[in-house]
């Protein structure tokens, strides 16, 4: 029995805001345009609003509004363009430059101008999009000495929360840098919060984890290589590297982008599979659907490898159907899967 439900495009307006020079366009280019960190310094300042539509997992369209952070533009957003900019927002991503002299709590004569601007933007968002999600990124953390980073992010998070009004209890704050995996951790969490029917996807991964006896199964979006979701066994849960998913996103995307140097295509090469066999574990990264890759880590052995490979191939049709589930089709699909 096949479901006749068609995919409905789900559009989410994403505001990317912050002071000019905070690094908004750089991070957007790294995540969505396959730039590498060393090249983004060539990017110029954003003028007014730079709009980019990004397709994510087939039916999720992200309308990313990269808003120039110069004072004149910010004033315009908060006055003449207020309803236009802040209406129908799904997510606000506000980027703070950790080294900005205006990013303080205002104590002892220091400037809190960045936080004042953020507070005004929060008020406008509350007026026009009260149900929006908010993520704040304390960016350029690579410029802070390692021994001070925890202290800095704690104090900055407290200052941001104090200016977040009624959004304070549901705000997500992340320390980020374009030079490491923290950028993938933050953006992975942001996009993950927007994915519809994520529980159905996770159920499918649990089935794949069970039949392959995998320690970990991770689902990536094919273009950005952001982590969509993952499941682990008890053994996988014991892995001490809590940042391994973001590291994998960074490493695999770098590998994928490097392949374009060996092809005639100007876009990044979409590889089909990548495997590692050792005496300790097996690993397969395989194209799962048009929009996703799956990474499976499972016990060593040739028989185990061949069985897992066949189970991944068998799962492709199931995940193609899962991916095509439109909003409102959940009950039909759960019935099809025997729930």
* In the predicted structure, residue 1 carries a pLDDT above the cut 50: no
* In the predicted structure, residue 34 carries a pLDDT above the cut 80: no
Residue 275 pLDDT: 94
Q: Quick one: 299 exposed, middle or buried, by C-beta within 10 A (0-12, 13-18, 19+)? A: middle
Q: What angle do CA 282, 284, 285 make, to 5 degrees?
A: 150
pTM, full prediction:
0.83
Question: 62: which residues sit within 8 A by CB, 6+ positions away?
Answer: 12, 14, 53, 54, 55, 56, 191, 194
The DSSP bridge partners found for residue 11 are 61
Q: Residue 183's CB: how many other CB atoms inside 10 A?
A: 24
pLDDT, average across residues 210-223: 92
pLDDT, average across residues 265-292: 84
* In the predicted structure, residue 330 carries a pLDDT above the cut 50: no
Q: Give the distance, in angstroms, between the CA of residue 109 and the centroid of all CA atoms in the same chain.
A: 37
Are 208 and 311 in contact, with CB atoms under 8 Å apart? yes
> Sorting pLDDT into bands at 50, 70 and 90, what band is 336?
very low
> Sorting pLDDT into bands at 50, 70 and 90, what band is 199?
confident
Question: Among residues of the chain, what percentage have pLDDT more than 70?
Answer: 85
Are 290 and 222 in contact, with CB atoms under 8 Å apart? yes
pLDDT tens figures, 235-278: 888 888 888 888 888 888 888 877 766 655 544 557 889 999 99
pLDDT, average across residues 122-138: 96
Residue 339 pLDDT: 47
* In the predicted structure, residue 143 carries a pLDDT above the cut 80: yes
pLDDT, average across residues 213-233: 91
Q: What are phi and psi of 14, to 5 degrees?
A: -120, 115
With left for phi above 0 and alpha for psi between -120 and 50, is residue 165 left, alpha or beta?
Answer: left
pLDDT tens figures, 56-110: 776 788 899 999 989 999 999 999 999 999 999 999 999 999 999 888 766 556 6
Query: Using CA atoms, how far apart are residues 327 and 94, in angstroms rounded to an integer?
Result: 28
Q: Average pLDDT over the chain, rounded to whole?
A: 85
* In the predicted structure, residue 42 carries a pLDDT above the cut 70: no
């Amino acid at each position: 029995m096949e479901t006749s439900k068609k995919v409905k495009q789900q559009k989410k307006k994403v505001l990317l805001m912050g002071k000019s020079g905070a690094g908004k366009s750089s991070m957007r280019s790294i995540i969505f345009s396959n730039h590498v960190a060393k090249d983004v310094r060539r990017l110029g300042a954003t003028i007014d609003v730079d709009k980019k539509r990004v397709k994510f997992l087939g039916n999720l369209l992200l309308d990313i509004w990269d808003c120039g952070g110069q004072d004149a533009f910010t004033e315009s957003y908060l006055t003449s363009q207020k309803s236009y900019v802040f209406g129908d927002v799904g997510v606000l991503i506000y980027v703070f430059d950790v080294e900005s002299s205006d990013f303080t709590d205002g104590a002892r004569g220091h400037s809190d101008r960045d936080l004042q601007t953020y507070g005004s933007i929060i008020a406008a968002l509350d007026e026009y999009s009260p149900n929006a999600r908010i993520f704040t990124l304390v960016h350029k953390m690579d410029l802070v000495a390692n021994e001070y980073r925890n202290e800095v992010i704690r104090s900055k998070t407290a200052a941001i929360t104090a200016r977040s009004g009624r959004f304070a209890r549901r705000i997500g704050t992340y320390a980020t840098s374009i030079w490491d995996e923290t950028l993938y951790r933050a953006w992975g969490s942001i996009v993950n919060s927007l994915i519809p029917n994520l529980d159905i996807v996770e159920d499918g991964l649990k089935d794949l984890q069970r039949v392959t006896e995998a320690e970990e199964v991770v689902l990536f979006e094919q273009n950005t290589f952001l982590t969509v979701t993952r499941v682990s066994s008890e053994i996988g849960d014991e892995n001490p590297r809590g940042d391994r998913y973001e590291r994998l996103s960074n490493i695999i995307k770098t590998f994928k982008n490097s392949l374009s140097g060996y092809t005639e295509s100007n876009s990044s090469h979409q590889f089909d599979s990548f495997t590692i066999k050792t005496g300790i574990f097996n690993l397969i990264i395989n194209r799962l659907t048009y929009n996703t890759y799956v990474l499976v880590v499972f016990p060593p052995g040739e028989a185990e490898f061949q069985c897992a490979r066949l189970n991944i191939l068998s799962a492709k049709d199931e995940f193609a159907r899962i991916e095509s589930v439109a909003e409102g089709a959940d009950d039909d699909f759960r019935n099809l899967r025997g729930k």
